């Protein structure tokens, strides 16, 4: 038991040191530049409470964005935009750190200083990003459902003699979020000097929709080689509408199986967590006895295999 406590202490200290190291500027002259900029801005106006609270977390958010760019992924700010969360990256990092501290304190008060301390802290730290992923999926589904009607409006506006920017502006005014917000942002980018192709590419990157990527690709090809854009958009709209209809039918037919998969997967985990949190002594043999550990491993493997089979059965790519 002493080895477990020692390992937990070393892990906690390592996480703290890594966080402090990431928060420090990379070079000394960067710190000087930051102080100069802060002094200049302070001369113009005093920093707000929001800026003073976010300042310690800006370095963490900047390092996270750099690492994500090097890996070719989305930055933290782009994740927040996809989820339609009006937060700065530094504010989201502050929320993550707050969840980490809260989870660690709850575990410390309930179980003492042990492996649960690290596990609870890491799990709590990951919760905000899971919520962001949930918001992204929900917004993406809403956008894909709106695409056929938005394409029909765009094609009709083009048939009426409007140019592509004018047609997009008309659609943005007559549709709701999220497609209306995305098209409105495209118009604003074009009004400040961005090209149509670049503004549309930015929209695809923000939205993350394969159907929207197909539409933008068709628009770019038509701009290069010519053709009847309204007819092209009508064809794409019909295809997407059929795909959305088929997806809805498949989702309705597999709803019970998908619910069964979630119940089979989450019910044992939730019951075990509740028992361990309410009465640790009752569930402790499962972690300390060899037979209990073997039973947990077998149960985890069985649940994972069952979940994989159910997901393979109910998942269809249309």
Task: Write down the pLDDT at residue 37.
Answer: 46
Task: Write down the pLDDT at residue 25.
Answer: 41
Task: Write down the pLDDT at residue 292.
Answer: 86
Check whether residue 185 and residue 115 sit in a common domain: no
Which residue carries 């976010």 as its tokens?
Answer: 54
- Token pair listed for 199: 């503004």
Check whether residue 158 and residue 259 sit in a common domain: no
pLDDT in tens, 170-224: 999 999 989 999 999 999 999 999 899 999 999 999 998 999 999 999 999 999 9
Check whether residue 200 and residue 219 sit in a common domain: yes
pLDDT tens-digit profile, the chain (318 residues): 455 444 455 455 555 544 444 444 443 334 444 444 444 544 455 667 667 767 777 777 777 777 776 676 788 888 899 998 988 888 898 899 999 999 889 888 877 777 778 888 898 999 999 999 999 999 999 999 999 999 999 999 999 999 999 999 999 999 998 999 999 999 999 999 989 999 999 999 999 899 999 999 999 999 999 889 999 999 999 999 998 888 888 888 888 888 888 888 888 888 888 888 888 788 788 878 888 888 889 988 998 888 888 888 887 776
Q: Contact at 8 Å (CB) between 101 and 107?
A: no
Check whether residue 222 and residue 107 sit in a common domain: no
Task: Write down the pLDDT at residue 279.
Answer: 81
- Token pair listed for 91: 């504010």
Check whether residue 6 and residue 127 sit in a common domain: yes
Check whether residue 132 and residue 147 sit in a common domain: no
The CATH code of the domain that includes 162 is 1.20.81
Domain final position from 215, 246, 277: 246
Helix (H) or strand (E) holding 67: helix 49-70
**Residue 195 phi, psi dihedral angles, 5° rounding:** -70, 160
Residue of 230, 241, 243, 246 whose CA lies nearest to 171: 230
Domain final position from 100, 115, 137: 137
Q: Is 227 left (phi over 0), alpha (psi -120 to 50) or beta?
A: left
Check whether residue 126 and residue 51 sit in a common domain: yes
Helix (H) or strand (E) holding 125: helix 115-159
Check whether residue 108 and residue 163 sit in a common domain: no
Residue 295 lies in domain: 254-314
Q: Contact at 8 Å (CB) between 81 and 132?
A: no
Helices 115-159 and 229-253 meet at what angle, rounded to 10? Answer: 140
Task: Write down the pLDDT at residue 306.
Answer: 86
**Number of domains the chain is built from:** 3
Model-level pTM greater than 0.85? no
Residue of 289, 286, 285 whose CA lies nearest to 299: 286
Check whether residue 233 and residue 123 sit in a common domain: no
Instruction: Give the side-chain half-sphere CA count within 13 A for 146.
Output: 22
Q: How far is it, in rounded angstroms, from Cα 295 to Cα 268?
A: 13
Task: Write down the pLDDT at residue 318.
Answer: 66
Q: What 3-state DSSP class applies to 112?
A: coil
Domain final position from 198, 216, 246: 246
Q: H-type helices in 160-228, by residue range?
A: 164-174, 179-191, 196-207, 210-225
Check whether residue 263 and residue 227 sit in a common domain: no
Residue of 232, 182, 229, 175 whose CA lies nearest to 208: 182
Task: Write down the pLDDT at residue 276.
Answer: 81
Task: Write down the pLDDT at residue 18.
Answer: 47
Check whether residue 123 and residue 8 sit in a common domain: yes
How far, CA to CA in Å, does 253 sit from each of 112, 243, 247, 318? 47, 15, 10, 15
Which residue carries 């929320």 as its tokens?
Answer: 95
Check whether residue 110 and residue 179 sit in a common domain: no
Task: Write down the pLDDT at residue 190.
Answer: 94
């Amino acid at each position: 038991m002493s080895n477990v406590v020692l390992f937990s202490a070393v892990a906690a200290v390592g996480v703290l040191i890594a966080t402090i190291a990431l928060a420090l500027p990379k070079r000394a002259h960067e710190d000087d530049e930051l102080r100069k900029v802060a002094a200049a801005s302070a001369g113009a106006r005093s920093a707000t409470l929001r800026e003073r609270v976010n300042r310690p977390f800006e370095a963490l958010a900047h390092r996270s964005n750099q690492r994500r760019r090097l890996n070719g992924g989305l930055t933290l700010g782009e994740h927040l935009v996809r989820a339609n969360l009006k937060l700065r990256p530094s504010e989201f990092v502050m929320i993550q750190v707050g969840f980490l501290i809260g989870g660690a304190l709850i575990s410390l008060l309930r179980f003492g200083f042990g492996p649960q301390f690290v596990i609870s802290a890491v799990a709590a730290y990951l919760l905000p990003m899971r919520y962001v992923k949930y918001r992204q999926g929900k917004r993406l589904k809403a956008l894909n459902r709106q695409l056929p009607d938005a394409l029909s409006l765009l094609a009709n506006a083009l048939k009426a003699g409007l140019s592509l920017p004018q047609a997009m502006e008309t659609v943005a005014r007559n549709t709701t979020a999220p497609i209306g917000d995305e098209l409105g942002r495209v118009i604003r980018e074009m009004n400040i000097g961005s090209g149509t192709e670049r503004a549309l590419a930015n929209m695809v990157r923000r939205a993350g929709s394969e159907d929207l990527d197909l539409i933008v690709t068709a628009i770019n090809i038509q701009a290069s080689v010519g053709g009847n854009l309204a007819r092209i958009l009508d064809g794409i709209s019909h295809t997407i509408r059929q795909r959305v209809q088929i997806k809805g039918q498949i989702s309705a037919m597999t709803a019970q199986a998908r619910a069964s998969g979630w119940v089979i997967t989450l019910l044992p985990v939730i019951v075990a967590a509740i028992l361990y949190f309410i009465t640790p002594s009752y569930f402790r043999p499962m972690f300390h006895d060899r037979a209990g550990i073997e039973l947990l491993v077998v149960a985890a493997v069985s649940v994972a295999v069952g979940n994989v089979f159910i997901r393979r059965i109910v998942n269809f790519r249309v």
